[in-house]
Structure 1
Amino acid sequence: MKTPGFWYRPDGPAARLLSPLGALYGLAGRLRRACTTPRRAPVPVICIGNLVAGGAGKTPVAIAVAAALKDRGRAVGFLTRGHGGAERGPLAVDLARHDTAAVGDEALLLAAHAPTWVARDRAAGAQAAAAAGAGLLILDDGFQNPHLHKDLSLVVVDGAVGFGNGRLVPAGPLREPVAEGLARADAVVVMGEDRAGIAALAAPLPVLHARLEPTAEAAALRERPVLAFAGIGRPEKFFATLRDLGALVVEAVPFPDHHPFTPNEVMRLAERAAALGATPVTTAKDAARLPEAARAMVRVLPVTVAWRDPAALDRLLDRVAPPVPESV
């Protein structure tokens, strides 16, 4: 789905017209949570979620948290729904066998960093992952899913746009009211500059500040003409990252979130870039959805999460996953 522009503009006619549907959406979620008893997994579960539909930076944060847990000597596994994939699971992702049609783009990104399980039934997925040796699970998304108990929940928020117009889907981007969501969270992660006053809204919860930072190899794009394209929640964020890096974005092409690229689409993008004397560039998540034969035609912008205060993350992880003592 392409994110409606009015979601991130001041309240307007479309948002007001759709607000009754948003109220019903919120009521359905509230009833679902009230009528469900979460099941505990055999191992601790850390949820990386958000309150809005679309991208806020959850997957990069999940990967960064996994790296921090590995440094603590923990055997980490990822658990995800596999959005966009046909497999219902529980299924261990195999990068040699599975593609986005089977398990979705996020599962492939996660599996490059740690063992990953796809499961529509998150509680069953947690059981399967623990049986396979995961000592701790990171739930990528699933904050609104009531079936699995979370031992630690981090809500990720895009600092540039916050919670948009403050209305519920489809009148706005919210999956649930902000106050209700934050009441179940243990901490908030603000991605990028906090231009929306998220820290004040989140009080008294701990607020971690982080940003997506291109890796060293991305420096090759500086002062280079690029045709940027992305099918993520907010493609504009990717385009801004390229500009901040110093790339010359001569054309920016947005696609709907999780868009499945066809060979013809990629060829047209490559031909358009060639006509502009530019390099076609996309995100790592989009690259997972490119036809395999077309991937060599496109440059990927790799990013990592940089924490303003890594010790703040350590204090949160201490609650559920203290460092494993080194053996003598």
Structure 2
Amino acid sequence: MRAPAFWTIRHGRDSAPILRLLLSPFGALYGASVARRLARAQPLALAVPVVCLGNLTAGGTGKTPLAQTLRGVLQDVLSGPVGIVSRGYGGRLEGPVAVDPALHDAADVGDEPLMLSHDGPVFIGRDRGSAGKLAVTAGMAGLILDDGHQNPSLAKTISLVVVDGQTGFGNGHLIPAGPLRETPANGLKRADALIVVGRLSEDTAEDIVGFSGPVFHAFLEPEPIEISGPVLGFCGIGRPEKFDATLRALGLDVVDLYPFPDHHMYRADELARLAKTAQACGARLVTTRKDWVRLPPDFAAQVTVVDIKARLTDVSAFTTWVRGKLDSFSTGQ
């Protein structure tokens, strides 16, 4: 599903105050169920450090490119391979499974795990504890638990919470009245550090003002591409407007952007319509890497990918902090 627009609007008529009020009791139940699950959990402790990369909100905050950047940092610190453990959202396999891009597709393991597997080892499992054990058996020196802040399966050495610099915690309400998976008070209490992605707005600064740990900053940057003539974009991600802004920031002549729900599995008729529209406009089809891995190979060959990288503004400070936390893990402190 696509996140409702009112989730990120805090004031005024467009914030849907009546609908938000009607949905708030369901949000309270949702938050209580998350808190209860976390309180009852008995996390599995592994023999290698586990760094959790998660957030407090539903929707796109840039976790996937950050996971790629974080893997590079951890591999330098640990001097060994780092695996990513994921639920495998959208895939049919229950796991635990080591993702192999030569054998699996997005329908098997989910789009994000498949995309990440091109950069290094990825292990999926509905039970992330089992997936973590498989990763350790495979010789990983450390693990990244992707989107795991509300998942208590594995004991975490470091918990990083990713925050969108523009939208922060949205309207401050729990799903379905807002984007929050849990209350900020509860979620930030378990965080060791925050990574704010993008320019920090005044609202987001207020959201995180009470957090006492380190706050790091990162920006998402598209890899340069050269396309002459108009382009027609399409994507199924949490925040499609971000992809539209990316295309325009690259200086591309954007005819239109067709948004689909996050993790959308494209049907043949949808792809045919996209191809027909692009042909009528004389435009080149462009999409995200996450969407590209969901496309049939023959159609994917007709589409240009815009790759996004996450850049930490002070990678040296972040690496030093991570090294200190992992030194404590290795000494058992």
- The bucket for the TM-score relative to the shorter chain is over 0.9
TM-score by length of 1: 0.93
Q: Which moved more, 1:263-272 or 1:53-62?
A: 263-272
Structure 2 residue matching 1:281: 3-state secondary structure? strand
| Equivalent position to 1:275, from 275, 280, 290 | 280
Within the candidate set 80, 87, 91, 1:81 is matched to 87
Residue correspondences, number:
319
Question: What is residue 106 of structure 1 aligned with on the other side?
Answer: 112
**How many Å separate the matches in 2 of 1:152 and 1:198?**
23
Match of 2:221 in 1: 213
Cα distance, 1:320 vs. partner? 4.1
Q: Which moved more, 1:169-178 or 1:289-298?
A: 289-298
Maintained 8 Å contact 2:195/2:217? yes
Shift of 1:264: 2.3
* Letter of the structure 2 residue corresponding to residue 27 of structure 1: A
Displacement after TM superposition at 1:200 (Å): 4.7
Tell me whether 1:6 sits opposite 2:14 in the alignment.
no
Q: CA deviation at 1:30?
A: 0.6
Give, in whole Å, the separation in 2 of the partners of 1:8 and 1:199: 15
Cα distance in 2 between the residues matched to 1:40 and 1:270 = 49
Q: Work out whether 1:140 is the aligned partner of 2:151.
A: no
RMSD, matched Cα: 1.5
- Aligned to 1:69, which of 46, 56, 74? 74
Q: Match of 1:69, SS? A: helix
SS in 1 for 2:218: strand
CA distance in 2, matches of 1:230, 1:123: 32
- The aligned runs of 1:133-212 (5 Å cut-off) are 133-202=139-208, 203-212=211-220
Higher mean alpha-carbon deviation, 309-318 vs 279-288, is at: 309-318
Q: Match for residue 301 of structure 2?
A: 296
Question: 1:197 Cα shift?
Answer: 4.0
* Secondary structure at the counterpart of residue 154 of structure 1: strand
Q: Which amino acid aligns with 2:6?
A: F
Partner of 1:233: 238
- Identity across aligned pairs (percent)? 49
Alpha-carbon separation, structure 2, partners of 1:316 and 1:48: 15
> How far off its partner does 1:145 sit?
0.5
**For residue 51 of structure 1, what is the aligned residue in structure 2?**
56
Please give the secondary structure, in 1, of the residue aligned with 2:143.
Answer: strand
The equivalent residue for 2:28 is 23
TM score, norm. by length of structure 2 = 0.92
Segment of structure 1 superposing worse, 9-18 or 140-149: 9-18
- Distance in 1 between residues matched to 2:291 and 2:85, nearest whole Å: 20
Residue matched to 1:312: 317
Aligned AA (1:93): V
Q: Secondary structure at the match of 2:324?
A: coil
Q: 1:254 aligns with which of 249, 259, 264?
A: 259
Q: Residue 188 of structure 1: SS of its match in structure 2?
A: strand
Q: Which residue matches 1:130? A: 136
